[in-house]
């Protein structure tokens, strides 16, 4: 019998049974909730007289709409205040543990799960946010879900799901200097397309992934959904176990050893059979920047912007050029920027801030650029400050903010204005994503964002490394 993948193993151990629809009822080991996608779900529970089935496996925080400058309550934005109050009432009424604004554990839901050791290998996890795939870095099957599904998980701790196929993606060899996890995933999406992962879970592996630390693996898994894959994961290994050891929700002593044995057992077998396998070479990946309106529309920094005819969907490329206002064939290098944003669940962790600070240290942000650093969690902020990263950033002219999702999706006051161009370490360059319907977003690694902030234009970060 052929070996099994991590996906197969976790799927089987979490299957409750087959539903009359033919779907599998899958147990969800951890449910993370936040303010945006939950209020109607709690309303539905109340309307039907239902309770939270496994409240011990449910944790809440507030991240999407929180202001990152003035956080005193009530918020200036009444809608943000009302939605936050709705979550506060719901967690109170249903007895769910809540990391609110005054908690040292507050932060972006995909940053705090791993940080607290809540996210563990061999677990299923769900959250009403498409970037839930982030947690796959731990060898967790993590699903981004909608509000009706949030209701189902609250009411039953299960989801009705169809099994996916598994595509193994190898990144072999090594990355060059100045090339980061963000560049790896942007390249994967560029090659396989924004819908290429439909119907698949992505298993990332190969020497480059093996050598990555957990924060880098989270960046890769985070953007699986941008490639159309609902789930992305990395097999747990010693790097994973070392990261988890000693974290608040991770067992200690003999129980930790038992946990490691279980975690090792869920990794894909050496002879596991995949539905598809693709391999890329790390050395072929350059610092990468998006030029268009979806995360698949990117080029290496030394390349020119492609011609619409090079795409299977030339109309889509033309629409992107129409919005962005560039010409096909123009160099990416030297594209002007107005705003620099370092943060988000993709690149708002300590390693990301360190990489950006290394570039910013002793230098000055271009006077025409508005530059923000938004730590992914209160804990990341604290650790960064202990290292003095906040001083490096503020001396260079970056604003140093409180934790939240911020300008990744601009549900708080951090927004682009008019036609501004943002160099952003976030995950989506969709039209209007950063708060202005005419705004423009260039996705890149945090180090590339820092370098762009200093120069007021897109530059090659390798000149600084």
Partner 1 sequence: MSEIVKITKVSGSAVPIRGNDIDTDRIIPARYLKEVTFARMGDYPFFDERYDGSGKKKDHPFNDPEYKGAAVLFVNKNFGCGSSREHAPQSLFRFGIKVIVGESFAAIFAGNCTMMGLPAVTVGAKEIEELIKSVEENPGTEYSVDLESMTLSYGNRKIAIALPETYRIALTMGSWDSTALLRANLEQVKKTAAKLPYMSGFSS
Q: Which of residues 252-311 bind partner 1 (CB under 8 A)?
A: 255-256, 258-259, 262, 294
Residue 3 and residue 228: Cα distance in Å, rounded? 26
**Site membership for partner 1, residue 53 (CB under 8 A):** yes
Per residue in 33-62, is it b (16+ CB within 10 Å) or e — as a string? bbbbbbbebbebbeeeeeebbbbebbbbbb
> Which C-beta is closer to partner 1: that of 137 or that of 351?
137
- Whichever of 241 and 464 has its CB closer to partner 1, that residue is 241
Q: Which of 51, 69, 162, 395 binds partner 1 (CB under 8 A)?
A: 162
130 lines the binding site for partner 1 (CB under 8 A)? yes
Residue 189 touching partner 1 (CB under 8 A): no
What is the footprint of partner 1 within residues 191-220 (CB under 8 A)?
194-195, 198-199
Residue 310: CB minimum distance to partner 1, A: 15
Q: Which C-beta is closer to partner 1: that of 4 or that of 390?
A: 4
Q: Distance between CA atoms of 32 and 361, rounded to whole angstroms? A: 36
Instruction: Closer to partner 1 by CB, 30 or 184: give it.
Output: 30
* Residue entry with tokens 């990391």: 99
Verify binding: residue 54, partner 1, rule CB under 8 A. yes
Residues 6+ positions from 305 with CB-CB distance below 8 Å: 291, 299, 326, 327, 328, 329, 330, 331, 332
Cα–Cα distance, 145 to 122 (Å, whole number):
19
The answer to whether 251 contacts partner 1 (rule: CB under 8 A) is yes
How many whole angstroms separate alpha carbon 63 and alpha carbon 106?
8
Binding mask 141-160 for partner 1 (x = CB under 8 A): ---xxxxxx-xx--xxxxxx
Residue 223 binds to partner 1 (criterion: CB under 8 A): no
Element (H or E) spanning 127, and its range? strand 124-127
- β-strand partners of 98: 60
> Residue 235 CB, nearest distance to partner 1 (Å)?
17
**Least distance from partner 1 to the Cβ atom of residue 227, Å:** 10
| 100 lies in the binding site for partner 1 (CB under 8 A) | no
Given 15, 103, 281, 399, the residue binding partner 1 (CB under 8 A): 15
Contact set for partner 1, span 21-40 (CB under 8 A): 21-23, 25, 27, 29, 36-37, 39-40
Residue 78, number of CB atoms within 10 A of its CB:
9
Handedness of CA 125, 127, 133, 138 (dihedral sign): negative
Q: What residues numbered 322-341 form the site for partner 1, per CB under 8 A?
A: none
Does 383 help bind partner 1 (rule: CB under 8 A)? no
Cβ burial 279-288 (10 Å sphere, 16+ → b, else e): ebebeebbbb
């Amino acid at each position: 019998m052929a070996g099994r993948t991590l996906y197969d193993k976790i799927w089987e151990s979490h299957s409750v049974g087959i539903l009359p629809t033919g779907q599998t009822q899958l147990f969800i080991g951890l449910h993370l909730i936040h303010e945006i996608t939950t209020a109607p779900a709690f309303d539905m529970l109340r309307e039907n007289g239902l309770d939270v089935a496994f409240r011990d496996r449910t944790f809440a925080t507030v991240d999407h709409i929180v202001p990152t400058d003035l956080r005193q309550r009530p918020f200036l934005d009444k809608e943000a205040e009302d939605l936050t109050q709705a979550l506060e009432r719901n967690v109170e009424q249903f007895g769910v543990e809540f990391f609110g604004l005054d908690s040292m554990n507050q932060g972006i839901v995909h940053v705090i799960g791993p940080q607290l050791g809540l996210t563990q290998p061999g677990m299923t996890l769900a959250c009403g946010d498409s970037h839930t795939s982030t947690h796959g870095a731990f060898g967790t099957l993590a699903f981004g879900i909608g509000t009706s599904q949030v209701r189902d998980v609250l009411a039953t701790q299960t989801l009705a799901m169809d099994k996916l196929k598994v595509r193994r993606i190898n990144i072999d060899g090594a990355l060059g200097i100045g090339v980061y996890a963000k560049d790896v995933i942007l390249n994967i999406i560029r090659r396989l397309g924004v819908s290429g992962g439909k119907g698949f879970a992505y298993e990332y592996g190969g020497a480059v992934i093996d050598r990555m630390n957990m924060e880098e693996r989270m960046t890769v898994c985070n953007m699986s959904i941008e490639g159309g894959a609902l789930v992305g994961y990395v097999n747990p290994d010693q790097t994973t176990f070392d990261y988890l050891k000693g974290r608040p929700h991770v067992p200690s002593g003999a129980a930790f050893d038992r946990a490691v044995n279980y975690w090792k057992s869920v990794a894909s077998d050496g002879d596991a059979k995949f539905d598809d396998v693709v391999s890329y070479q790390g050395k072929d990946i350059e610092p990468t920047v998006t030029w268009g309106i979806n995360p698949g529309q990117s080029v290496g920094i030394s390349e020119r912007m492609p011609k619409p005819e090079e795409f299977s969907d030339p109309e889509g490329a033309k629409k992107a050029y129409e919005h962005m206002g560039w010409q096909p064939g123009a160099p990416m290098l030297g594209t002007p920027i107005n705003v620099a944003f370092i943060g988000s669940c993709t690149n708002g962790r300590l390693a990301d801030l360190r990489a950006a600070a290394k570039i910013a240290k002793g230098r000055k942000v271009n006077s025409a650029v508005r530059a923000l650093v938004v730590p992914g969690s209160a804990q990341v902020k604290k650790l960064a400050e202990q290292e003095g990263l906040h001083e490096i950033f503020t001396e260079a002219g970056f604003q140093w903010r409180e934790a939240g999702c911020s300008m990744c999706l601009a549900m708080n006051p951090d927004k682009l204005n008019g036609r501004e161009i943002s160099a952003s370490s976030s995950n989506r360059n969709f039209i209007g994503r950063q708060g202005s319907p005419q705004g423009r977003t260039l996705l890149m690694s945090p180090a590339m964002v820092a370098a762009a902030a200093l120069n007021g234009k897109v530059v090659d970060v390798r000149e600084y490394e």
